[in-house]
Amino acid sequence: MDARPLFQALRALSEDNASFFERSGTESGRRVAAACAALREHGRRLEPALRHFSRLAPRFDLDEATPGNGYRSLAQVARSCLAHAVRKSRYVAAHRRSLFFRAAHNAAELEAWGAALAQLRAMLCLAQRMLARNAPGCLFAEEGGEEEEEEGEGLSATVLREYSTMRNGCFYGRCLGFQFAPSLRPFLQTIAIGLVSFGENYRRNDLGLGVAAGSLFTSGKFALDPELRGDEFERITQNLDVHFWKSFWNLTETELLASVASMTSTPVGVCRVLAVPPEPLELPLAADPSVTVTIAPPVAHSGPAPVTMRLLSYHLREGQDSAALSALTRAEGPRGPSRWWRGPPLPPSPGLLVHFHGGGFVAQTSRSHEPYLRGWARDLGAPILSVDYALAPEAPFPRALEECFYAYCWALRHCRLLGSTAQRVCLAGDSAGGNLCLTVSLRAAALGVPVPHGIVAAYPVTLVRAAASPSRLLTLLDPLLPLGVLCKCLSAYAGTEEEEEEASPPSPEPLGPSALLRRDTSGRARASRPGGGRPEEGERQEPPPGSPPEAEGEGLEYPDEFQPLRSQGPPARFMPPPAPLAKNPYMSPLLAPDAMLGGLPPVHLVACALDPMLDDSVALARRLRALGRPVTLQVVPDLPHGFLSLGPLSAETRRATALCTRLIRDVLQPPGEGTRRGSLLLGTRRDSLAPHEGTRRGSLLLGVRRDSLAPHEGTRRDSMVALHEGPRRGSVLLGVRRDSLAPQEGTRRDSLAPREGTRRGSVLLGVRRDSLAAPPEGPRRGSLLLGTRRDPPLTHGCRGADAPGSPAAAPPGSAAPAHPGVGGTATAGEAPPQPPGAGSLPPPEARPPPRPPSCATQPGGGAPSPPDGPDPPRTPPGRRLSAAPLGSRRASGPAGREVGS
């Protein structure tokens, strides 16, 4: 996208608005003029930087078909901020002369966008330093050699130190979520208001629901004052410990919210919580099934304990109602196991999905992820086993990995209890769960047990350390994954949370009325200051107490004497995990050696273009691609981290969730197999050059491939090659091929080649008209014929009154030909008689015997006469015709078989 029109518009509008409001004698007018001047200066400085990153960003993509990396994301966020600043400037220019124009409100809006552009300038400067110091083509310095790694560690520490003093409250006030899809911004604003209200009333030993109820009474002030909300959001994300985030995120685990989510989500046939005892398992080796390996139960940190899992299945299948599985089931609160399926159990599914939930390794269970898992169970038709692994900081690494690996092996060993044969197994997870999918597969490959057939990881974290990358710079403005939260979660999983908790500053007191006045964050106190109380972007502030020095090469120097806005509070401490533990490949799969990564199954990554974890996915995909391993990367735009849990909120999240579903279905479906029996196919591939198998028996086909150049067995339109088999028994065919020049066995219109009639048990809606070829064999026994052929053309040797079977052509005493499939076979040029009533035929005695057709043009070269007499009845193989008279059957079809039987 070319940003030059944005810069030109911003420059013109800022100059116009500044010149207008400079003549104003009010304080609000001077604030508007100063904010417009700041916007113009930021635009002038940002333009060359954006041009530079737009030119270099494609070098860091996975390939040309997959554009996405942190440098692209930074440029996109800067352009989005510019677009919002231009839109606001246009509004001011259009309404500044109105009597209802609120100068103070619009001045605050322009100041907020100016502050956002100032911080984005600082982020682009940090990204420029990464671009200069990292190895060519590397997003993380750890991808290079030891020299680059040591250099990268110094750069990461410098970036963390710089971020600890930079102000980010401007991104959580009026500019909250500006980079995401507009449909998600109201939800993000609600989350931010709830977060700061919850943080004001938070006490570590209080119940989360009680704190949430108390937060409702204090949320109004944060909704009315965006600047106050931004200040509090910044304080919470930098100072409160991981237990606060665990309590806030676990609000979705409460009985009230979980029950509401369960009632509004897709119903499933089976929803059971299992507690698997910690017993050793025996699994055969993948290379030699005659040799088994023993899988020990999890013991890290807390010793052996049952592993909790949740089984979901849209259909009740064999084994899911067994006594052995019931013995493992435990009650979940007041509700028992969910089951609405009332029919007999279905056969085991060949596919099995093992799911690991997200939550930063510290919060949530499968219950909070149950809404989209229920949708997966319906769309995939396979059982889903979601693992509730132990959470940090109480159970740090490697406890979660041990429990997930044990659950995966248990699922392979007892797949029949889960309603699956485990012929195709897929691992799926989001965020922290995506990391566990990769590490479980690495461990399975290392022990020699069967690895899954594929991995689908949504926005996974592949480098569990506070390392600097272009996309991780977005943590300064991300409302769902700020840098402080990311570092606290990674430290908790690495086992360093206790040290960080001791050194972290105590949480401040709740914000009462007197505290608000002392902090001077109310709108009236800010408006009383010159310039609205915000320091200018070039103004040097007094360093806050305890802030690190910026001299002696420890801080960052910015060009043009520019300085970003600094936080007014003490700097936050972002402690990364210790280097030796963070380099463990079972914690950070991105750092795994090539030999370990070579054992991974096909990996399908789904990342968000605006997610701080984007570079984790891109870097891993590039490593796997370099090793020749099968890997795909899908980058979805305009969505935040954790979009799977936001599926019902917008069309964008629903499309992204459907993308994950399709990738999982591709893993669970055996290669080369078409649509399965009993499936519903709504629109298939068009303009495809690859063959695929046709629709199977019992499927419903609505809309088929067009303009295909390769043969396939399904129904197509406008095909010029290779015949294909018609609809299979029991299928419903709506719309068939037209204008085809190739022979085909299915039902067609305007065809030049013969084909076999409709198969037994099919429903035919509309058949051939005006056919130039010999008529096909009639519908087989048990089919329903709605609409038959009429008006045969002259090329059959007769037409109109001379047509065989017409009243004028039949001499006295002659009979019409028997209906196909009942008493004889229709010959060329004959039209079968119309049935006297829908779904019934006249009795045999009411129909005259058939006669040979006569045509005056036959001796002169017309159509050859058929042999005398009707053909003998044709009996399908393996069946005998019923001896009962047709008149004794009710609503029978052409074959004499009762309709609907």
Helix or strand holding residue 82 (H, E): helix 70-95
pLDDT reading at 238 higher than 90: no
> Is residue 641 annotated as a catalytic residue, yes or no?
yes
Dihedral sign (CA 55, 60, 63, 65): negative
Predicted pLDDT of residue 598: 96
pLDDT reading at 284 higher than 80: yes
pLDDT reading at 686 higher than 50: no
Predicted pLDDT of residue 357: 97
Amino acid at 311: L
DSSP codes of every residue in 849-888: PP-----TTTTTT-SPPPPSSPPPPP--TT-----S-GGG
Residue ranges in 364-431 assigned as alpha helix (H): 370-380, 399-413
Nearest to residue 2, comparing CAs of 39, 50, 49?
50
Q: Which residues pair with 763 in a beta bridge?
A: 732, 784
Other beta carbons less than 10 A from residue 262's beta carbon: 18
Judge whether 298 and 304 are in contact, CB under 8 Å.
yes
Q: Which residues pair with 898 in a beta bridge?
A: 892
What φ, ψ does residue 425 adopt, rounded to 5°? -120, 135
Q: Which residues pair with 837 in a beta bridge?
A: 840
Q: Which residues of 115-138 are buried (b: 16+ CB within 10 A; e: fewer)?
A: bbbbbbbbbbbbbbbbbeebbeeb
- Of 301-310, 378-387, 843-852, the one with minimum mean pLDDT is 843-852
Q: Which residues of 654-669 are buried (b: 16+ CB within 10 A; e: fewer)?
A: eebbebbbebbbebbb
Nearest to residue 767, comparing CAs of 894, 900, 901, 899?
894
Predicted pLDDT of residue 212: 62
**What tens digit of pLDDT does each residue of 813-855 get?**
444 434 333 334 333 344 444 444 444 444 444 444 444 443 4
* Catalytic member of 61, 225, 388, 611: 611
Predicted pLDDT of residue 672: 63
Rounded-to-integer distance, Cα 615 and Cα 71, Å:
9
pLDDT reading at 117 higher than 70: yes
Predicted pLDDT of residue 543: 39
Amino acid at 95: H
Q: What angle do CA 187, 188, 190 make, to 5 degrees?
A: 65
Rounded-to-integer distance, Cα 774 and Cα 478, Å:
70
pLDDT reading at 752 higher than 50: no
Higher-pLDDT residue of 771 and 160 is 160
- Of 251-255, 337-341, 704-708, the one with minimum mean pLDDT is 704-708
Rounded-to-integer distance, Cα 55 and Cα 520, Å:
44
Predicted pLDDT of residue 536: 40
- Residue 466's pLDDT band, with cuts at 50, 70 and 90, is confident
What φ, ψ does residue 796 adopt, rounded to 5°? -80, 0
Rounded-to-integer distance, Cα 326 and Cα 479, Å:
42
Judge whether 222 and 228 are in contact, CB under 8 Å.
yes
> What is the mean predicted confidence (pLDDT) over 507-532?
37
Judge whether 489 and 360 are in contact, CB under 8 Å.
yes
Alpha-carbon separation of residue 873 from 206, 845, 892 (angstroms): 84, 17, 18
Rounded-to-integer distance, Cα 750 and Cα 873, Å:
28
**What tens digit of pLDDT does each residue of 735-749 get?**
434 344 344 444 444
> What is the mean predicted confidence (pLDDT) over 636-640?
96
Predicted pLDDT of residue 262: 75
Q: Tokens 């799911």 — which residue?
A: 355
Judge whether 297 and 290 are in contact, CB under 8 Å.
no
For 233, the token pair is: 């959001």
Q: Which DSSP category does 632 fall into?
A: E
pLDDT reading at 223 higher than 80: yes
Rounded-to-integer distance, Cα 461 and Cα 190, Å:
26
Q: Which DSSP category does 528 fall into?
A: T
Residue ranges in 753-826 assigned as alpha helix (H): none
Judge whether 311 and 385 are in contact, CB under 8 Å.
yes
* Catalytic member of 431, 645, 719, 751: 431
Beta-sheet strand order (sheet of 700-702): 680-682, 700-702, 732-734, 763-765, 784-786
> Is residue 431 annotated as a catalytic residue, yes or no?
yes
Q: Which residues of 410-447 are buried (b: 16+ CB within 10 A; e: fewer)?
A: bbbebbbbbbbebebbbbbbbbbbbbbbbbbbbbbbeb
Residues in the chain: 901
- Residue 572's pLDDT band, with cuts at 50, 70 and 90, is confident
> What is the mean predicted confidence (pLDDT) over 690-718?
39
Helix or strand holding residue 763 (H, E): strand 763-765
> What is the mean predicted confidence (pLDDT) over 623-627?
96
DSSP codes of every residue in 420-454: EEEEEEEEEEETHHHHHHHHHHHHHHHHTSPPPSE
Nearest to residue 658, comparing CAs of 266, 376, 268?
376
For the chain, the distance separating the N- and C-terminal CA atoms, rounded to the nearest angstrom, is 62
Nearest to residue 473, comparing CAs of 129, 175, 143, 187?
129
- Residue 8's pLDDT band, with cuts at 50, 70 and 90, is very high
pLDDT reading at 876 higher than 70: no
User: Coil, strand or helix: which one is 98?
Assistant: coil
DSSP codes of every residue in 161-227: HHHHHB--GGGTTTTTTTTS-GGGHHHHHHHHHHHHHHHHS--TTS-HHHHHHHHTTTHHHHHH-HH
Alpha-carbon separation of residue 305 from 389, 399, 564, 586 (angstroms): 11, 11, 51, 22
> What is the mean predicted confidence (pLDDT) over 63-87?
96
Rounded-to-integer distance, Cα 862 and Cα 883, Å:
39
Rounded-to-integer distance, Cα 61 and Cα 610, Å:
15
Mean pLDDT of the chain: 75
pLDDT reading at 378 higher than 80: yes
Most confident of 9-23, 193-207, 533-547: 9-23
pLDDT reading at 84 higher than 50: yes
pLDDT reading at 524 higher than 80: no
Rounded-to-integer distance, Cα 272 and Cα 336, Å:
8
Judge whether 703 and 733 are in contact, CB under 8 Å.
no
Amino acid at 686: R
Rounded-to-integer distance, Cα 830 and Cα 797, Å:
11
Predicted structure pTM score: 0.72
Rounded-to-integer distance, Cα 817 and Cα 806, Å:
11
- Residue 254's pLDDT band, with cuts at 50, 70 and 90, is confident
Q: Which DSSP category does 139 fall into?
A: S
- Residue 523's pLDDT band, with cuts at 50, 70 and 90, is very low
* Catalytic member of 84, 453, 604, 641: 641
Judge whether 887 and 843 are in contact, CB under 8 Å.
yes
Judge whether 177 and 479 are in contact, CB under 8 Å.
yes
Q: Which DSSP category does 749 fall into?
A: B
Predicted pLDDT of residue 509: 42
**What tens digit of pLDDT does each residue of 157-208 get?**
888 889 889 999 999 999 999 999 999 999 999 999 999 998 888 876 665 5
> Is residue 616 annotated as a catalytic residue, yes or no?
no
Other beta carbons less than 10 A from residue 265's beta carbon: 17
> What is the mean predicted confidence (pLDDT) over 631-636?
98
